[in-house]
Amino acid sequence: MQIAVVTFDGFNELDSFIASAVINRARPAGVRAYITTPTPSVTSMSGVEVVGQRGLDFITEADVVLIGSGIRTRDIVADPALFGALPLDPSRQLIGAQCSGALVLAKLGLLGSMPVCTDTTSRPFVEDCGVRVLDTPFHTEGPIATAGGCLASLYLGAWAISRTVGEEAARAAVDYVAPVGEKDETVERVFAAIRSAQPVAR
Amino acid sequence: MQIAVVTFDGFNELDSFIASAVINRARPAGVRAYITTPTPSVTSMSGVEVVGQRGLDFITEADVVLIGSGIRTRDIVADPALFGALPLDPSRQLIGAQCSGALVLAKLGLLGSMPVCTDTTSRPFVEDCGVRVLDTPFHTEGPIATAGGCLASLYLGAWAISRTVGEEAARAAVDYVAPVGEKDETVERVFAAIRSAQPVAR
C-alpha cells in the first residue's frame, strides 16, 4: 500500500513528517509513505528545504492521500493549476487532511455534509465553505478523515495504517515512536481518539 | 537565542523535526531552531533528502545544541572527522540528546555519572559506555537533557524553550501544536515529564 503525504511550499513540518514517519514504521507490514510535492523541492514554514520523494502525478497511484498543512493553503486552493493537479478519488482511495488540508477537501467538494477537524487558524476559512468544524482532534466518515492541531497528525497516520494494513500494525508503529515509559498510554490515547471519531448526529 | 538541531544522514524525522518545529513556534519570544548538518544535505532513514540550514560550524555559535537521532549514530561516533566536529561546551551551552543522541554525549564524555534516557535500540550501546539508562522519557541535570522515544522530542523542545526564553513561552508553543480538544492535557503532560526529571539518587 502506498501513501502520498502531499506537501506544499510553506508546509508545517509536524504535519507532514509525523504522519509519514509513523506510517513508515509500519513498512514491514506492507505500507509506505512518500513526501509528495508539486515541485522538485518545497520549503517549510521554518525555511527547511525538502526534496520531494514523489511528484503530484503519484497521487493517482496512491492507495491513501494525506493532505498536509502549511501557511500557503489558501493560495493553493486559489491556484487552478495547482488545485487541478489533485485528482483525489474517494471511491478508490482513503483521503485524509491535516489542519488546513481540510480546506482543500472542502474546496474539492469531497466533504458533502461531513463535519471536519482543523486548526484554529484555518477554522473560519473552512466554515466559509459551509463546512462544520468540530472541537475534537480527529474525525472520520467512510474513506475520509480529518485531524486538527499539528500533533494530531499522529492520529491521521495511525488511521491510515489501520485502514490499509490493520490496527495491529498501527498499534505497533505508535508504540515504537511513543516516549519511553509512556508507550501503553500513548497507544491507548491514539486509538481512543480514532475510535471516538464516529459519524456525529447532524 | 539560537538552537542547533544536529541532524545526520539516516536521521529520524520525528526526532529532528518535532523539536525544531515546536521551538520555532516560540520564535516571537526570541528563540530559533536550525536544522544543522555535516553536509549540505542529509537523507533521512525513510529516504527524505533535507537541505541543512546551518553547517556544523554553527554549533560553536549556538546557545543550545540538540543532537538528533537516526540509524547511523554508531558510525558517527566511530568517525573521528565527524565526531571531532562536535565542539559541545556544557559550560556555556545547553545540550540535549534525543534517543541515540545519548550515545554521542556518552562518547564525548559529557555525562559524568548522570543517567540518561534513550530508545530501546540504542540502550545497550549507551550502557556499554558505562552510562545508566532510565525507564523514563526525559531526564535533565544541569545544562544537559536526554529524551527517549521519538515523540519525547516534544519534551526536549519544550525544555529548550523553557531554559532559554522561559516556561510561559514553552507552554504557549506546546499549546499551539497540541491536538485540538487536548491542548490543556498535552501541556500538562509535557511539563509534568520535564518537572519530574530531577536528578535521581545514585
Give the tens place of pLDDT for each residue, A125-157.
Answer: 999 999 999 999 999 999 999 999 999 999 999
The residue of chain A with its CA nearest to that of B50 is A50
pLDDT one-digit tens code per residue, A52-75 = 999 999 999 999 999 999 999 999
Cross-chain residue pair A180–B137, CB shorter than 8 Å: yes
A38 in B contact zone (CB under 8 Å) = no
Return per-residue pLDDT of chain A as tens, 202 residues.
Answer: 999 999 999 999 999 999 999 999 999 999 999 999 999 999 999 999 999 999 999 999 999 999 999 999 999 999 988 888 899 999 999 999 999 999 999 999 999 999 999 999 999 999 999 999 999 999 999 999 999 999 999 999 999 999 999 999 999 999 999 999 999 999 999 999 999 876 655 4
Residue B70 corresponds to which cell in the numbers above? 537516526
Distance from CA of B194 to the nearest CA of A (A): 13
Closest Cα in chain B, distance from residue A139 (Å): 11
CATH number of B2-195: 3.40.50.880
Displacement of CA A54 from its chain's centroid (Å): 16
**Interchain proximity A50–B51, CB inside 8 Å:** yes
Domain boundaries, chain A: 2-195
Lowest mean per-residue pLDDT among A95-104, A150-159, B93-102, B193-202? B193-202
Q: Which residue does chain B place closest to A182, by CA atoms?
A: B137
Question: DSSP secondary structure string, A111-137?
Answer: -TT--B---TTTHHHHHTTT--B-SSS
Q: Which pLDDT band, with edges at 50, 70 and 90, does B199 fall under? A: low
pLDDT, residue B82, reads: 85
Type and span of the H or E element at B13: helix B13-25
Query: What is the mean pLDDT of the segment spanning B48-55?
Result: 98
* pLDDT for position A200: 54
- B66 DSSP β-pair partners: B5, B96
Long-range (24+ apart) CB contacts under 8 A made by A102-110 are A102/A126, A102/A131, A102/A133, A102/A146, A102/A148, A103/A73, A103/A74, A103/A77, A103/A129, A104/A67, A104/A73, A104/A76, A104/A77, A105/A67, A105/A144, A105/A146, A106/A130, A106/A131, A107/A77, A107/A83, A108/A83, A110/A144
Q: How many residues are listed for chain A in this entry?
A: 202
pTM here?
Answer: 0.96
Question: Which residues of chain B make contact with A53, given a CB cutoff of 8 A?
Answer: 47-48
